[in-house]
Structure 1
Amino acid sequence: MGWAFYDVTVEHVLARYLVLVFAFVGGAAIGSTVGVVTGLILSLASVASLYQMSLLAFAGLLGGLLKEGKRVGVGLGLLVGTLLIGLYGDGGSALSVTLLESLFAILVFFLTPKGFVYYLARYIPGTAEYSKEQQQYLRKIRDITAGRVEQFSTLFQTLSNSFQASDRVSTEEDEEREMDYLLSNVTEKTCQTCFKKERCWVKNFSKTYDSMQRMMVEMEHQGEIKDQVLMAEWKRHCIKPDKVIHAIDQEQQQFQANQKLKKQVMESRKLVADQLLGVSRVMGDFAKEIQREKEAYYYQEEQMVDALRTVGMEVGHIDIFSLEKGHTEIEMSVAYQGEGHCEKIIAPMISDLLKETIIVKKEESGFYPNGYSHVSFASAKQFIVNTGVSHVAKGGAWVSGDSYSTIELDTGKYAIAISDGMGNGERAHLESNETLQLLQKVLQSGIEETVAIKSVNSVLSLRTTDEVFSTLDLAMIDLQNAQTRFLKIGSIPSFIKRGDRIIKIEASNLPMGVFQEFDVDVVNEQLKPGDLLIMMSDGIYDAPKQIENKEMWMKRMITELNTDNPQDIADLILERIIRQGQGDIEDDMTVIVAKVEQNTPKWSAIPLYKSPHLFRKQTQKAAFS
């Protein structure tokens, strides 16, 4: 027998108190579970106490269900459970004692400090305090990660600045110093052993120095000394003119080789500096993205959970990373209820809540131990791009010197690119294809397109001394507003068909690989739904040899097309060009047609007639009072 006071068993009081606390903190599931386990422990001491398990389990269930009524509701659940189990369990003989035990347990429960209950809730899975504790830990990890990434970003920025600082512009003093260095090398090889050294460099220093300097300048610009007057004066002045001129020629060649090597080193440093700066910006943006996740959306998350659960959706938790219009990012755990459930029901409901079209970005079934799926939602793009491509190699060969690429980037932009390698055949194909591969990798890393093109150009110009060039025609379409940036590097014009109107897009830039450093001329154009963007290589544009005004001819041909299907337009343009040339294909030909269309959501929003208003809820800690 345990401790007792006027027939009130202390262990029964403590058991019911334990059930009350856990039912209040964890709800019906935790309360009933603790009741069953506590009842089993009591039954091990005495088989007569077996009915206590039913009382505790039932009291834990009722108390958890009534926890919204705070402590009074949980205590009422214990009293109801005690009455029902007491009446139908041992009968009415011991009901007064059982009720008294429950009342003592409720009294102790009411006297329990709020801090103790809040502290206990932090360690029970499923409670708001437990989730908050986990979120605080995750936020701490995010802060540390963001700080480290920011440090690396600053490091790369510093390295970039150090490389750029070394690229100082040559001054007149530097040029004079280099000239003196060249002259000293020449005199060391010729004048040091001459018996008339004192006459030339002591008595006639100015004349000797000026004559040698003029000869060096003449040889640098002309490759040889063509000024006969200067040559005659030098022969009268020096007793070994040919030896000195030969020494100047050798030093000049070595100097030019060193200057060329120095220039390549400086250009390589500039390339490395640009790359480091680009990486620094990407890492800086990544750190900002991590920090942006710290924005507090707790109340919106709670309201969204309540709204979805109200209509019967089994939602575990919701994490909102961004509510910026057009860039919404939401993740949640949800019970699997069939294929397409999230796409057809949950996403349209969220669309109604946010007044914005939301789609399923990624869904992983059975991601969590309880069988729930992990679903990512994001803003739907306002525009979509459909493309059609038609191309042929010179003379109908298998390998074309033109390469093309269409890719949707993670930044919400759609890239269309055509590259034309110099010449035809396999080498031109390798050049154009490598240009696009480099560009694609750099763009996918998040680096801005202008910096990406400069980086690719630097790589192409530095990797070989051969004169191998390639053109690049790039269009970057923003899928949120259809704003388009055209970057044309040595490429021919593009055209936009808007109804009966034809808009020409052109820019003046040299091909890639000609110069290590150049400015990219960017053309901005606002596209509209239904617009057709037509990009082509020079093999298409320059094909009609007998036509003087190729631009007007191309515009008229595009206007006469009676279809708006991108693939049909590409095929018709290529066919017309080949027919115009009597079937002769004199160059590689590529044409890409892109149609910009308004994105129509597959599923319309499902209205929630009790949509929550944004308001600040009480914290769970305050709810314990």
Structure 2
Amino acid sequence: MNRQTSNKPSPIMKNIVWEGIGFMKSWTTDGVKKMPVWSRWVQVVKKKKLKITLSVLILFFAFFLSKAVLFEAAVPFFLPIWAIVARRYPRYLPFVWIGGLSGSLTLGIGQTVLHVLQVGGYQAVSQVVKNKKLIPFQVAMVILLVQVGWQWVSYGGEIPLSVSLLVLYESILSAIMTVFLFQLFVPMHALTTAKWTFERIGAAVMVSALMLTGMGGLLFGLISIPLVLVHVMLFGAVSVGGVFVGTAVATIMGTILSLSQLSFSGMIAVYALSGLCAGLFQNKGRLWMAIGSIGAALFFTVYDTSLPLDKVYFASLALAMMIFFIMPSSWISYAQNQLFPKPSSVLFKRQQWLTDKVNTQLYDFQQFVEFITQLVNDRFPTQKEIASTTQTPDYSVCGSCFRKDKCWGAENQGMYPIVDEWKEMRGQTKSGVRYRLNDRIQEKCVRSSGLIDALEEEYANNKLAGHYAHGKKMLAYQLRDMSNHVSELMADLQLNEANHESEEEKISKRLDDAKIAHFQIDMLSEEPGARKIVCCLPVKQAEWETNQMVGERLIIPILHELYDEPFEISRTTEIQDPFAHIQITFQSAVRFTYDYGVFTRSFQNTVYSGDAHSVIPLHSGLVAFVLSDGMGQDMEAYHESRKVIRLLRECLQHQMNPETAMHTLHYVMSLKHHSDLYATVDLALLDLQQGKLWSFKAGSMSTYLLRGKDCVKIDSQSVPIGFLPTMSVDAEERIVKDGDILVMLSDGMFSPEYSLEEQENELIRLMRKYESTPTGSLADLLAAEFSRKYPAAEDDRTLIVVKVKHSVPEWSLFSPSYRNISRERMIK
């Protein structure tokens, strides 16, 4: 009892819920009431425009085709429209049923029963035979069998030969009409995008002519609707395609209309001559085209008085001429562009000329870049030149001194050790060191001030020469990268010139070759490693998973072959408006995922330290780990390391080569006038798509890559950024696999009181011991366990641990909510 009452909501909660519902209801109704009725209808029509248009067209076609009569007895066109709608637009079958039966009732109850029997027979056959190519044959066979059975019953088992021929003609015409309707009514997904080819236009003309035969009774006074529509179509065909298209359309129209009334077969020549005469005056304007059509009708009025060229015909022709005169020119231009697109040879030649010109300019620029690069590389100082600059020069202040022989006579004696020590220690930032060196020179030299000035000048010149040499080296790297970019740009231009197709067209062509039905491709992102492509596929007749399987098994391999990178399905959506279709979104797949943890601590327990780190996701498939250690532990060291991180991030985000970025960074950092600060840089680029690791080091500690029982050590022999006028970057590439652990650290982690090899072995042992520990706490655990055995040095400490794993989708399994109940049932 208590359990039941406890599940009921309290009266207070009921009141709150009902008040909230009442408020929402009143708010929505007030909002709807404020909107005018016509505005609401306009919004509904805009939203459902395609559905409403298609519904009206299908209703219109079904009504007039179901009552179209050929040879004054055959009515073969209701089942073809039913078959095509059932195949391609099954949701619109009620409109076919309403329109078709309404048209059949105008011919009598017997014809209506015949159409119902044909639909039932077709539905039974289509459940067994589902091949699209056999639909015309199925329609013909169903009509033939139903008509034979109906006529056999009607004539008591003895069907006349003329009736048998009409039944045969009806089945053949129904099959031909089915083919025409398949050409005209394209699949739902291509209804708004399919081009009007000559085959489709011919099918539209045939179907329209057959529909006109069902409009024979539409007469308003002296105006015949079928005759008006025939002449409007004739004038439109002549305006769009000229004399040949106009004559062909007029002949087809006359032939179809004459088949409905065999007594007026001479009208074929009337319509053909009307199209010919109107086409002869196409270039003269619409008035002369109308005059030509009237002239043909007047000629046959005099030539053959038996033809139905009466007041109704000429009144209908006059109304068609008036409609033709007010017809917008944009409609005719649109039809002309669909049938006869304007040749783009001039545009193609201009594009080719522009491409050749840009290629020539880019090629000249590339040659210039290569020349400058080679010129700069040839001007790098050789080892002999560097050795000559390190020798002690002949100072002018000592040339006239009486103690020259005593100071500079014997090598490694006199002033040599003092000057060498001065040059070695001059780069120290502490002023006390420089004062001490100057005092030693003053004790030995009688012209100390002049010698110190000469040494300062030599130090400045050497430093400037070093900056100049590294600047040339940095320029060479930047020119090399620029040359590579220009080469890629030229290759893209040449590829575009050869193909003249966009990425969407390229993908669509490959899908067409693979016989994969689609109607739209959108490339949302073209960045390598972060591509995003949306494919719109028609809804299959099978289950929904069929489209997912097509995307996974067929489309993804095509995209992988095109762009040489893995893809995955990020989203699949079924959309109903404006028509039902499937949108599958493909994006660059990431084969690996990473998880990282960071331990960092300042030696002085402050919020700032000389160590700085950053994790920079360049895109979904590439991430950069940066660790920088500035000289010292004060605020200046903190700003120095943060500056290195910030500049390196900007260089990488601008897609600069990592090696070039580090040389550029050194050049910027070495241009200091008031300080001699420097910083180490440890850059690790992790490619999550290809499973590669690139390590770039400048004076940093070793990086450790643990894989099971093996451990790869990535060392560095270069100097920190800004330490010397010139520098080099240590670069190394490694392959990463599932379960690898990457460790990056600063020099403060190791104690100077113990051997480096011993501490490295202990760190590797701890990494193997705790490799199953969650990454978030692994860095803290390693630092704590390591500092227990080896006390921390008087320096800032930073430890970065990165775990690499395969990107595997998480599958959810069903589990019973009440395990005890399930266990009891299993035991029973």
TM-score band (shorter)?
0.5 to 0.7
Partner residue in 1 for 2:268: 96
Partner residue in 2 for 1:526: 735
> Is this contact kept in 2: 1:318–1:332, CA < 8 A?
yes
> Aligned letter for 2:229?
S
Deviation at 1:456, TM superposition (A): 1.9
Deviation at 1:574, TM superposition (A): 4.1
Deviation at 1:53, TM superposition (A): 6.7
| Equivalent-residue separation in structure 2 for 1:546 and 1:433 (angstroms) | 30
| Equivalent-residue separation in structure 2 for 1:283 and 1:535 (angstroms) | 36
| Equivalent-residue separation in structure 2 for 1:75 and 1:266 (angstroms) | 82
Deviations 1:437-490 (A, max 9, x none): 222333334443333323322322233463312112222233343232322322
> Aligned letter for 2:269?
V
| Equivalent-residue separation in structure 2 for 1:373 and 1:280 (angstroms) | 44
Q: How does 1:193-592 map to 2 (within 5 A)?
A: 221=416, 254=457, 257-294=460-497, 296=499, 301=507, 303-304=509-510, 306=512, 311=517, 313-315=518-520, 348=552, 349-354=554-559, 357-359=566-568, 379-409=588-618, 413-464=622-673, 466-542=675-751, 549-561=758-770, 563=772, 565-576=774-785, 587-592=795-800
Deviation at 1:335, TM superposition (A): 9.3
Q: Secondary structure at the match of 2:623?
A: strand
Q: Secondary structure at the match of 2:499?
A: coil
| Equivalent-residue separation in structure 2 for 1:285 and 1:99 (angstroms) | 62
Deviation at 1:351, TM superposition (A): 1.0
| Equivalent-residue separation in structure 1 for 2:229 and 2:346 (angstroms) | 34
Alpha carbons of structure 1 residues 548 and 454: separation in structure 2 relative to 1, 3 Å: closer
Q: Secondary structure at the match of 1:496?
A: strand
> Is this contact kept in 2: 1:282–1:447, CA < 8 A?
no
> Aligned letter for 2:782?
I
Deviations 1:91-142 (A, max 9, x none): 947732355348859999xxxxxxxxxxx99993798887898777666655
Larger gyration radius, structure 1 or structure 2: 2
Q: Give unpaired runs (5+ residues) of structure 2.
A: 1-194, 209-221, 239-243, 281-332, 421-444, 540-544, 573-580, 812-828
> Aligned letter for 2:556?
S
Alpha carbons of structure 1 residues 517 and 308: separation in structure 2 relative to 1, 3 Å: same
Deviations 1:286-316 (A, max 9, x none): 43344444453969656435369853x3326
> Is this contact kept in 1: 2:628–2:679, CA < 8 A?
yes
> Is this contact kept in 2: 1:402–1:590, CA < 8 A?
yes
More helix by share: 2
> Aligned letter for 2:798?
T
| Equivalent-residue separation in structure 2 for 1:449 and 1:517 (angstroms) | 17
> Is this contact kept in 2: 1:382–1:598, CA < 8 A?
yes
Alpha carbons of structure 1 residues 537 and 479: separation in structure 2 relative to 1, 3 Å: same
| Equivalent-residue separation in structure 2 for 1:430 and 1:125 (angstroms) | 66
Q: Secondary structure at the match of 1:124?
A: helix
> Is this contact kept in 2: 1:391–1:574, CA < 8 A?
no
| Equivalent-residue separation in structure 1 for 2:262 and 2:810 (angstroms) | 62
Deviation at 1:523, TM superposition (A): 3.4
Range that drifts further, 23-32 or 398-407: 23-32
| Equivalent-residue separation in structure 1 for 2:224 and 2:368 (angstroms) | 70
| Equivalent-residue separation in structure 1 for 2:701 and 2:386 (angstroms) | 41
Partner residue in 1 for 2:575: none
> Aligned letter for 1:551?
E
Deviation at 1:327, TM superposition (A): 7.9
> Aligned letter for 1:477?
L
Partner residue in 2 for 1:234: none
Q: How does 1:29-178 map to 2 (within 5 A)?
A: 54-55=229-230, 81-84=253-256, 92=264, 95-101=267-273, 124=337, 144-164=357-377, 166-167=379-380
Alpha carbons of structure 1 residues 85 and 156: separation in structure 2 relative to 1, 3 Å: farther
**Identical amino acids, percent of aligned pairs:** 20
> Is this contact kept in 2: 1:385–1:595, CA < 8 A?
yes
| Equivalent-residue separation in structure 2 for 1:331 and 1:77 (angstroms) | 43
| Equivalent-residue separation in structure 2 for 1:271 and 1:171 (angstroms) | 20
| Equivalent-residue separation in structure 2 for 1:320 and 1:27 (angstroms) | 35
Q: Secondary structure at the match of 1:398?
A: coil
> Is this contact kept in 2: 1:271–1:455, CA < 8 A?
yes
Give the alignment's TM-score, normalised by structure 1. Answer: 0.59
Deviations 1:381-425 (A, max 9, x none): 443433333433334422232222223446964322211111224
Deviation at 1:50, TM superposition (A): 7.4
> Is this contact kept in 1: 2:255–2:268, CA < 8 A?
no
| Equivalent-residue separation in structure 1 for 2:258 and 2:675 (angstroms) | 98
| Equivalent-residue separation in structure 1 for 2:248 and 2:569 (angstroms) | 44
> Is this contact kept in 2: 1:24–1:74, CA < 8 A?
no
Deviation at 1:25, TM superposition (A): 6.2
| Equivalent-residue separation in structure 1 for 2:520 and 2:567 (angstroms) | 17
| Equivalent-residue separation in structure 2 for 1:410 and 1:137 (angstroms) | 37
> Is this contact kept in 2: 1:336–1:373, CA < 8 A?
yes
Alpha carbons of structure 1 residues 571 and 360: separation in structure 2 relative to 1, 3 Å: same
Give the alignment's TM-score, normalised by structure 2. Answer: 0.47
> Is this contact kept in 1: 2:590–2:620, CA < 8 A?
no
Q: Secondary structure at the match of 1:415?
A: strand
Deviations 1:354-396 (A, max 9, x none): 5664347999xxxxxxxx9999966534434333334333344
| Equivalent-residue separation in structure 2 for 1:581 and 1:248 (angstroms) | 48
| Equivalent-residue separation in structure 1 for 2:688 and 2:716 (angstroms) | 23
> Is this contact kept in 2: 1:26–1:127, CA < 8 A?
no
Alpha carbons of structure 1 residues 320 and 106: separation in structure 2 relative to 1, 3 Å: farther
Partner residue in 2 for 1:596: 804
> Is this contact kept in 1: 2:529–2:620, CA < 8 A?
no
Range that drifts further, 99-108 or 482-491: 99-108
| Equivalent-residue separation in structure 2 for 1:392 and 1:539 (angstroms) | 10
> Is this contact kept in 1: 2:535–2:584, CA < 8 A?
yes
Deviations 1:69-95 (A, max 9, x none): xxx999988765554567789994773
Alpha carbons of structure 1 residues 304 and 455: separation in structure 2 relative to 1, 3 Å: same
Alpha carbons of structure 1 residues 592 and 328: separation in structure 2 relative to 1, 3 Å: closer
Alpha carbons of structure 1 residues 217 and 402: separation in structure 2 relative to 1, 3 Å: closer
Deviations 1:250-274 (A, max 9, x none): 6666555545444444444443444
**Aligned length, in residue pairs:** 498
Q: Which has the higher contact order (CA 8 A, sep 6+)?
A: 1
> Aligned letter for 1:404?
H
> Is this contact kept in 2: 1:475–1:487, CA < 8 A?
yes
Q: Secondary structure at the match of 2:337?
A: coil
Q: Secondary structure at the match of 2:625?
A: strand
| Equivalent-residue separation in structure 2 for 1:132 and 1:374 (angstroms) | 36
Alpha carbons of structure 1 residues 397 and 294: separation in structure 2 relative to 1, 3 Å: farther
Alpha carbons of structure 1 residues 576 and 444: separation in structure 2 relative to 1, 3 Å: same
Alpha carbons of structure 1 residues 321 and 272: separation in structure 2 relative to 1, 3 Å: closer
Q: Give unpaired runs (5+ residues) of structure 1.
A: 1-21, 36-46, 64-71, 109-119, 192-206, 226-241, 364-371, 604-625
Q: Secondary structure at the match of 1:387?
A: strand
